[in-house]
Structure 1
Amino acid sequence: MWTLPEPMLAAPVPDPVLPAGWAAEVKWDGWRALLSWDAGDLVLRSRQGTALAPAFPELCAGASQLPDATALDGEVVVWEDGRLAFERLQGRLQRRGAGAVRLAAEHPAHFVAFDLLRLAGTDTTGWTYRRRRAALEALFTENRLTAPWALCPSTTDPDTVREWLSSWTAVGLEGVVFKRLESTYEPVRGWRKHKVRATEDAVVGAYTGPAAAPRTLLLGRYDTAGRLRYVGRSTTLPQASGRSVAGFLTPAGDRHPWAGWSFSAGWGSRENLHVTLVVPELVVEVRVDVARDGAGRWRHPARWHRSRPDLSADGVPLFEHAPTG
């Protein structure tokens, strides 16, 4: 029986210039997802393996447009007022049944397809990107796919990439992804990504404040030995964000990697924080400067941006001990 492969990933690069022999695609501000449509059954899976189909009934309803035995890789997004509204995805994982149907009607999601994994029962992951892309475009054209399905733009023109990066950021362009034309689809970091927004991902290891609405988050990253290292604390969360985050935090026991630790309330302060340790699984996105102290921690508070329950902790960049900046 055919099953969805592990997703192919991208390594970050600072250079936005499209290399020769590569194609560029828009990096959307949404949730990465893989889907399979087979014998009337839709499997929709997040990058970390979470089953998403019950949370997106609009995608389930639209799957009948797809030909049988088809599998796609792409991004789940929500459009609102002419822009991508990532915040409309935040509560979807916790909704099922009537709640999911209501949110689907209020803020319907779309699936932006950027890769073809299976076609009419044929596994296409061994095809080159060039061939997969041509087949994906033909799939949309021949089946006249409409909402909730959308085709991600792809180009080999460097001028088009520059236009995307200069003109599309206002509507939710997160950056661009580069894919080598002759590459196959494999569960490795064989793609490259350039992000417009300067944010960082980290894992929540603890919080301050009430359980129903945490006030600040204590953040970590794993080192090469698999130890969760403390990298810094977030700024105060907006109340709505604190309440939203609370639903993804699970209190941890004595086996937490930070059990017995104390955390300072501020740089140079002798006061210790009262923290609640949580299972280190929720990924959040924060804005930070590049300065680190001698222990490799961020020198200044990490400015809260958003939670990323669609990501897994093992995809967060590793802890860097050597200070930068």
Structure 2
Amino acid sequence: MALTPPIQPMLADARPELPRDTALPGGPAYEQKPDGYRAILFASPDRVQIQSRNGTDLTGAFPEIAAAGRALPAPLALDGELVVAHGGRLHFGELQRRARRRGAGARQAAAERPAHLILFDVLETADGPLLDRPYRERRAALEQLFVDGTLGAPFALCPATRDRAVALDWLDPAWGTVGIEGVVVKGLAQPYQPGRRGWLKVRARATADAIVASVTGPVTAPSTLLLARRDQTGRLRYVARTAPLARTAREELGARLRPGGPDHPWRGRRFSAGWGSSEQLDHRPVHPELVVEFAGDTAVDEGIYRHPVRYLRVRDDMSPEQLPPPGA
């Protein structure tokens, strides 16, 4: 194969909503964005490697994908998303647990929670690299690999459309409940440009309510909010952290919040500054009495929002006791 790992995948720039005029070369094509790990598979009869977005070798963690790549009749370099289905949806938490295992543990996990690689691009075939070919040609080549039976389970073809109305439907939060977290927009005439943010992505978003349980920054003018809900036993469970608040929101909330006392359940508790980060937040518990509405994407694992959410408003019409438990 001419392409060898690691190579930088082509990336997407975030947008708040699906653009009407993308100005992408050749016009737009839309693909579903599954909730998983970006992965490039380099497969030939004598060598297989699964490369993560940042270049990490994931081959040992997903032996079933590696075995399927090794069984392909001709060399291929394929770009896609590793996913694990569980409980009726694509489950990011189960995927994370799979990614940490190797050896016998990985083989056991593959039997219990098999992974799939949802493919949206082909970068090389037996005829050579396709990076310079337009997206429409690469997509046609990828679809043909499924039509002629070269590719099958555990590989899956990522749904794609040129119909904006269909793409808008994919942004319905109902798709988020099964693990489709948004839409990626690509130019039909675009080549594959490793490392460049030449595509666009839009995440599906929905609103929800939670209790303000702690803040970063001063209580009188909080920078961000740490949000919670009470579980079935009444314990305060973390669900999300907001993005930095606007000045008007800081003033509004600062006038409403009260510092938590020494018996606050989050007194002395540590929170990560971000998903996968080892940095700890400097936070200040507040009396858990104020309910707020927020907007978040659909990347939610066991009731916890993986990405920062956006504060919308105070819900004076709701009490903390009226909120459902996390994950409900």
Shared fold (TM-score, shorter chain, > 0.5) = yes
Letter in 2 for 1:2: L
Q: In the alignment, does 2:99 pair up with 1:93?
A: yes
Deviation at 1:39, TM superposition (A): 3.5
Letter in 1 for 2:161: T
Deviation at 1:160, TM superposition (A): 1.4
Deviation at 1:101, TM superposition (A): 0.8
After superposition, the Cα gap between the structure-2 partners of 1:18 and 1:67, relative to the gap in structure 1 and judged at 3 Å, is farther
After superposition, the Cα gap between the structure-2 partners of 1:196 and 1:277, relative to the gap in structure 1 and judged at 3 Å, is closer
Instruction: Tell me the secondary structure at the aligned position of residue 171 of structure 1.
Output: coil
Letter in 2 for 1:12: A
For 1:256-277, what per-residue CA distance to the aligned partner results, in whole angstroms no more than 9, with x for missing partners? xxxxxxxxxx997999x97999
Q: In the alignment, does 2:17 pair up with 1:10?
A: no
CA distance in 2, matches of 1:280, 1:78: 23
Q: In the alignment, does 2:200 pair up with 1:192?
A: yes
After superposition, the Cα gap between the structure-2 partners of 1:150 and 1:283, relative to the gap in structure 1 and judged at 3 Å, is farther
Instruction: Tell me the secondary structure at the aligned position of residue 117 of structure 1.
Output: strand
Instruction: Tell me the secondary structure at the aligned position of residue 104 of structure 1.
Output: helix
Task: Write the mapping of 1:15-164 to structure 2, written as runs, cut at 5 A.
Answer: 15-17=17-19, 19=21, 21-164=27-170
Look up the match of 2:235.
none
For 1:70-90, what per-residue CA distance to the aligned partner results, in whole angstroms no more than 9, with x for missing partners? 101100011224321222112
Q: Which runs of 5+ in 2 are unaligned?
A: 208-213, 217-222, 231-256, 279-292, 314-328
Letter in 2 for 1:168: W
Look up the match of 1:169.
176
Letter in 2 for 1:173: I
After superposition, the Cα gap between the structure-2 partners of 1:103 and 1:237, relative to the gap in structure 1 and judged at 3 Å, is farther
Letter in 2 for 1:190: G
CA distance in 1, matches of 2:71, 2:45: 13
Computing the radius of gyration from Cα coordinates, the structure with the larger value is 2
Identity %, equivalent residues: 40
CA distance in 1, matches of 2:270, 2:179: 34
Please say if residues 45 and 72 of structure 2, whose CA atoms lie closer than 8 Å, have aligned partners that are also in contact: no
Deviation at 1:185, TM superposition (A): 0.9
Task: Write the mapping of 1:251-262 to structure 2, written as runs, cut at 5 A.
Answer: none
Letter in 2 for 1:13: R
Letter in 1 for 2:107: V
Task: Write the mapping of 1:220-239 to structure 2, written as runs, cut at 5 A.
Answer: none
Task: Write the mapping of 1:171-320 to structure 2, written as runs, cut at 5 A.
Answer: 171-186=178-193, 187-197=195-205, 282-283=276-277
How large is the RMSD of aligned CA atoms in angstroms?
A: 4.1
Equivalent residues, number: 247
For 1:36-80, what per-residue CA distance to the aligned partner results, in whole angstroms no more than 9, with x for missing partners? 012432110111111111000111121144343210110001122
CA distance in 2, matches of 1:176, 1:115: 15
Please say if residues 42 and 49 of structure 2, whose CA atoms lie closer than 8 Å, have aligned partners that are also in contact: yes
After superposition, the Cα gap between the structure-2 partners of 1:95 and 1:118, relative to the gap in structure 1 and judged at 3 Å, is same
Deviation at 1:19, TM superposition (A): 4.0
Deviation at 1:136, TM superposition (A): 0.8
Instruction: Tell me the secondary structure at the aligned position of residue 54 of structure 2.
Output: coil
Please say if residues 18 and 24 of structure 1, whose CA atoms lie closer than 8 Å, have aligned partners that are also in contact: no
Instruction: Tell me the secondary structure at the aligned position of residue 143 of structure 1.
Output: coil
Deviation at 1:96, TM superposition (A): 0.7
Instruction: Tell me the secondary structure at the aligned position of residue 190 of structure 1.
Output: strand
Please say if residues 67 and 120 of structure 1, whose CA atoms lie closer than 8 Å, have aligned partners that are also in contact: no
Deviation at 1:170, TM superposition (A): 2.7
Deviation at 1:107, TM superposition (A): 0.8
Please say if residues 25 and 177 of structure 1, whose CA atoms lie closer than 8 Å, have aligned partners that are also in contact: yes
Letter in 1 for 2:186: K
Deviation at 1:236, TM superposition (A): 7.9
After superposition, the Cα gap between the structure-2 partners of 1:190 and 1:108, relative to the gap in structure 1 and judged at 3 Å, is same
After superposition, the Cα gap between the structure-2 partners of 1:71 and 1:175, relative to the gap in structure 1 and judged at 3 Å, is same
TM (normalized to structure 1)? 0.63
Deviation at 1:232, TM superposition (A): 5.6
Instruction: Tell me the secondary structure at the aligned position of residue 84 of structure 2.
Output: strand
Deviation at 1:198, TM superposition (A): 6.7
Letter in 2 for 1:44: I
Instruction: Tell me the secondary structure at the aligned position of residue 171 of structure 2.
Output: helix
